[in-house]
Amino acid sequence: MQTMEQSLNELRSSFASGRTRSVAWRKQQLRAVLKLIHDHEDEIFNALHQDLGKHPVEAYRDEIGVIEKSASLSLSSLETWMAPKKGKLPLLFYPAKGEVLPEPLGVVLIFTAWNFPISLGLDPVVGAISAGNAVILKPSELAPACSSFLARTIPLYLDPETIKVINGGPDVCERLLQLKFDKIFFTGSQRVGRIVMQAAAKHLTPVTLELGGKCPTILDTFTNAHDMKIAIKRIVGGKWGPCCGQVCLGIDYVLVEEKSASTLIKLLKEFIQIFYGENPKHSDSISRIVNKDHFERLRNLLRDPRVADSIVHGGSIDEGKLYMEPTILLDPPLDAQIMTEEIFGPLLPIITLKKIKESIEFINSRPKPLAIYAFTNDEAFRKQIISETSSGSVVFNDVLVQFLCDVLPFGGVGQSGIGRYHGKYSFDTFSHEKAVMQRSFFPELEARNPPWNDFKLQF
């Protein structure tokens, strides 16, 4: 077993050898990522089922499919992304040539969360490889089947002298964070994000922090019954669909006018039943809570009697099976933990407002979210949401789909994160844009040199 220092030294000398910089090496590694996920599709399905009870359809869409798309895009775009961009220099600098050259950062450390343990691990690796870096990947210990799968297969497919997997929990993370990296890419909670940023500050290491928070969904009052129905169907799909609400971008709560709340609740219940049957506990289309600690954390959110009283649907649990029913709460107190902390589970508070426009003030009085979703046909309201709120992303009339769209940057703002990735943004995140200027020895303007005088002041 290599020590962490030995691993880092090996990565440093491989990087220094220059081999990760070539297009050939980058493409070879990207093809190897694709081969890895194709050769082991069934094993990935099994690992995701073991860790989270994910259905293969969900596993394909949110994990294998995401990597397939991102590695293929990088493969086909690499030369364009790597090409230096010409900088048009002002006349003052002539004769000269200027360009912006993306260069790899060096050895990067990637920490991942457990809820999408394959895609959240491999997607930043794809970005780091595309940009020509050496990598240490530290998967989440809370998805052990997936993290051991990655530790076993990555060295068999990818260049083991430049890409390494180190498994372990907080103690391993803390030791890794004492070492000096050229970049840390972290996906996880705000609490650990702070620890990572503090450790990075010691070495002035740049960080990307992909964090979470409470993502609000605004549901306008619709005159059109069809649109209202589709909106609520999408809310159900987005809330309980991927990983049973254990999603950074998932809907945390819904804001709705008082007069629409009963229709919302009625349709939410209807679609829960259509999607997951009479008793969702027997459905294989809904994932399980990741472990006992998170189960207990969610149960504690419901222990507050004021919160328990606000349950209008669901609330049943099966601790042995780590199952928690899709649960709807109507107007839980705003100072209760369920409304002050990220829920990250299958509990959905509905907060009623007199007028839906009050949602802007509601959102602005809380930390900036990773995403805001708004279902509305009111163009003026959409413009108001865009211009008067701040969030990592804003999506109208749908939820979560921005995650799958490689041409848009994915990341937070304020407490929901620092930096962004996906598609070309991943390449940029793991690159330094170096300014290159080439000048000639002629002409030599004496006005630039001392001694200073009034004549030179005119320049």
Among the listed ranges 74-82, 184-192, 302-310, 446-454, the one in contact with ligand NAD (CB under 6 A) is: 184-192
Among the listed ranges 121-129, 204-212, 299-307, 381-389, the one in contact with ligand NAD (CB under 6 A) is: 204-212
CA dist., res. 327 & res. 305, Å (int): 15
Binding to ligand NAD in span 363-392, by CB under 6 A: 370
CA dist., res. 235 & res. 91, Å (int): 55
Contact string 410-439 vs ligand NAD (x = CB under 6 A): -------x----------------------
Residue 112 found at the interface with ligand NAD (CB under 6 A) = yes
Collapse the DSSP code of 229 into the 3-class scheme (helix H, G, I; strand E, B; otherwise coil) and give the result: helix
Look up residue 410 and give its DSSP letter. B
Nearer to ligand NAD, 102 or 411 (CB): 411
Q: Does residue 210 carry a catalytic annotation?
A: yes
DSSP bridge pairs for 104: 431
CA dist., res. 283 & res. 277, Å (int): 7
Burial classification of residue 361, based on how many CB atoms lie within 10 Å of its CB (0-12 exposed, 13-18 middle, 19 or more buried): exposed
Of all residues in the shown chain, the one whose CB is closest to ligand NAD is 212
Residue 185 found at the interface with ligand NAD (CB under 6 A) = no
Q: Does residue 99 carry a catalytic annotation?
A: no
Among the listed ranges 57-65, 76-84, 97-105, 169-177, the one in contact with ligand NAD (CB under 6 A) is: 169-177
CA dist., res. 402 & res. 315, Å (int): 30
Q: Are 222 and 378 in contact (CB under 8 A)?
A: no
Residue 113 found at the interface with ligand NAD (CB under 6 A) = yes
Tokens of 417: 């994160």
Collapse the DSSP code of 162 into the 3-class scheme (helix H, G, I; strand E, B; otherwise coil) and give the result: coil
Pick from 114, 149, 222, 430 the residue near ligand NAD by CB under 6 A: 114
Tokens of 49: 């089922």
Contact string 127-146 vs ligand NAD (x = CB under 6 A): -----------x-xxx----
Nearer to ligand NAD, 172 or 353 (CB): 172
Place of tokens 């000096």: 180
Pick from 18, 160, 169, 277 the residue near ligand NAD by CB under 6 A: 169
DSSP bridge pairs for 435: 100
Amino acid identity of 379? Answer: E
Among the listed ranges 172-180, 252-260, 268-276, 297-305, the one in contact with ligand NAD (CB under 6 A) is: 172-180
Q: Which of 248, 257, 325, 342 is catalytic?
A: 248
Residue 255 found at the interface with ligand NAD (CB under 6 A) = no
Cβ 144 to ligand NAD shortest distance, Å: 11
Collapse the DSSP code of 179 into the 3-class scheme (helix H, G, I; strand E, B; otherwise coil) and give the result: coil
Nearer to ligand NAD, 39 or 174 (CB): 174
Q: Are 99 and 86 in contact (CB under 8 A)?
A: yes
Residue 208 found at the interface with ligand NAD (CB under 6 A) = no
Look up residue 294 and give its DSSP letter. H
CA dist., res. 205 & res. 182, Å (int): 6
Nearer to ligand NAD, 51 or 257 (CB): 51
Q: To 10 degrees, the CA torsion angle through 35, 39, 40, 41?
A: 90
Pick from 271, 323, 344, 375 the residue near ligand NAD by CB under 6 A: 344
Residue 187 found at the interface with ligand NAD (CB under 6 A) = yes
**C-alpha dist (Å) from residue 459 to 89, 342, 447:** 18, 57, 7
Nearer to ligand NAD, 312 or 408 (CB): 408
CB atoms under 10 Å from CB of 180, counted, come to 14
Q: Which of 63, 146, 173, 210 is catalytic?
A: 210
Count of chain residues binding ligand NAD (CB under 6 A): 28
Collapse the DSSP code of 315 into the 3-class scheme (helix H, G, I; strand E, B; otherwise coil) and give the result: coil
Among the listed ranges 7-15, 43-51, 185-193, 327-335, the one in contact with ligand NAD (CB under 6 A) is: 185-193
Tokens of 234: 């999408």
Residue 210 found at the interface with ligand NAD (CB under 6 A) = yes
Q: Which amino acids are annotated catalytic?
A: 210, 248
Q: In the complex, which residues of this chain contact ligand NAD (CB under 6 A)?
A: 111-115, 120, 138, 140-142, 169-170, 173-174, 177, 187-189, 192, 195, 210-212, 248, 342, 344, 370, 417
